Amino acid sequence: MPKKFSDEPVEYESLGRYESQEHLNLSAQRIISSSPSDHTVIFSFYDGRFQLSLAQLRYFTFLSIDISILWPWNCFLSASVYFIKKFGAGSNLSNNYSSTMMTVSTLTSFALNSYLSTKQFANFVNRIKLGCLINFSIFIILSLIELFWPTLNSGSYFTFVMLLILLSSVGTCFQQNGCMAIVNVLGPIYAQAVMVGQAIAGVLPSIALMLSNLLYPSKSDDSNGGIVIYFVATSIITLISILLLLITNRYKDDLGTDIEHESPISSQQQPSEYVPFAVLFDKLKFIVSSIFTIFVITLVFPVFASNITSVNPNWGKLTSDNIYIPFIFLVWNLGDLAGRMVCAYPQFVISSDRKLLLYSVLRFVNVPLFFFCNLSKNKGNPIVDSDLFYILLQFTFGFTNGHNLSCCFMNVANYVDDEQKEAAGGFTTIFLSLGLAAGSIFSYLFVLIIS
């Protein structure tokens, strides 16, 4: 059973170090007298009409961090068309770009997340910083190469791009591991911020791609200027998340210690013990199984989104394939965002781990309904002759993904002991990565079915 939320305020030395309740009881008076609370106003303007509290700053910090976590993946995914054209349509390099990118990224994520989850005694703020700096550097390098050497298209350059994708996955793993460890300590609302940030990172590229095709239908692939701007924007987003993290971490409890050191704060507080995976799995088996199932089922959605077209293709530009398909990706991502945002309201959060697993499995009922829509092989004779039906189906599929996933991550901390929360954060990322890898493989089954 999940633990009940305590009404007693919990203080933290910093974003990167959890303080046990026992230690807080020993030094409560010193903490209260010298530490800002979550409700402390740290910024205000217009005579106090607009105020920013520490809790709000933390929320937006974690939201921005997770935008920067998922954005690089979406950036490489959105750049597929550019790189396929760059390496020559129909060539071995272009034909293998997408599948190689997916393989390199998912395998790297799974391997490194598995390793990092065993390193439970760490400064998790530093892990986030390191991950952000890696991705910032990678996209600056890509921007410079595409700006000054846009004609590079050899096998060596293909290998170099895959190396950058691998390193980007490494950076993302450091960010993700550190972020999930911290939010498990800070509380469920910050886990919800993480989920919303990831959804925003999915929505914005979809909008950019659709607008690009809508406003510049004949020029979108003729220049590398757009991709350079996209790479630079990715670096800027990552830089913003680093700055917000540094600002937020200034408002930490003044316990007279340096957060960069991993020694115990007090001699009366013993270092946390290593938490075996078997212990974590015993407590989180239903939640991590739900996370795995969510991704396995969800990753069939791009297959259908890329192969289902409008039943009214002659209605104009909006129903043409180059606009309609990005629009469907946007619809799914908006549903995903909505599902994550409703979890800000406690009445919409499912707390039972068994119900979450059942929820994740029942989402599969959406999948057969896609075969009722205007698949390419149906040759304009769908079982349900309605774009509205398909749009609502994609929105629902996205909404249940975001809602189910947010509920899972928001409840992780409620099923483990206080000293196990940071370790649990890293443990869940293993199943996230494993779900992505398995989902990618599972999606190939549907590629074969609808081809």
Question: What span, in angstroms and rounded, lies between the C-alpha atoms of 336 and 328?
Answer: 12
What is the mean pLDDT of the segment spanning 69-75?
A: 82
Question: How far is it, in rounded angstroms, from Cα 195 to Cα 341?
Answer: 8
Fold match, 10-271 / 276-451: yes
What pLDDT is stored for residue 268 in this prediction? 32
pLDDT digits (tens, 9 = 90+) for 207-244: 766 666 666 554 444 456 667 877 888 899 899 998 98
Look at residue 335 in the predicted model and tell me its pLDDT: 94
**pLDDT given for residue 149 in this prediction:** 86
Model confidence over 330-365: pLDDT tens digits?
899 899 999 999 998 889 999 999 999 999 999 999
Residue spans of the domains in the chain: they are: 10-271, 276-451
Q: Can you tell me the distance from the alpha carbon of 86 to that of 214, in angstroms, rounded to the nearest whole number?
A: 22
Q: Give residue-wise pLDDT tens across range 10-39.
A: 333 334 333 333 433 333 333 233 344 556
Residues 110-119 pLDDT 10s: 889 888 888 8
With a CB cutoff of 8 Å and minimum separation 6, the contacts of 308 are 328, 370, 373, 374, 375, 376, 390
Instruction: Please state, in angstroms and rounded to a whole number, the distance separating the CA atoms of residues 181 and 168.
Output: 20
pTM for this structure? 0.71
Statement: residue 79 has pLDDT above 90: no
Residue 379 pLDDT > 80, yes or no? no
Architecture of domain 10-271: Up-down Bundle (1.20)
Q: Architecture of 276-451 per CATH?
A: Up-down Bundle (1.20)
pLDDT digits (tens, 9 = 90+) for 242-286: 898 888 877 754 323 333 333 332 333 333 578 888 899 999 999
Q: What is the mean pLDDT of the chain?
A: 78
pLDDT of residue 425: 83
Q: How confident is the model at residue 71 (pLDDT cuts 50, 70, 90)?
A: confident
By C-alpha distance, which of 199, 226, 190 is closest to 69?
199
37: number of Cβ within 10 Å: 12
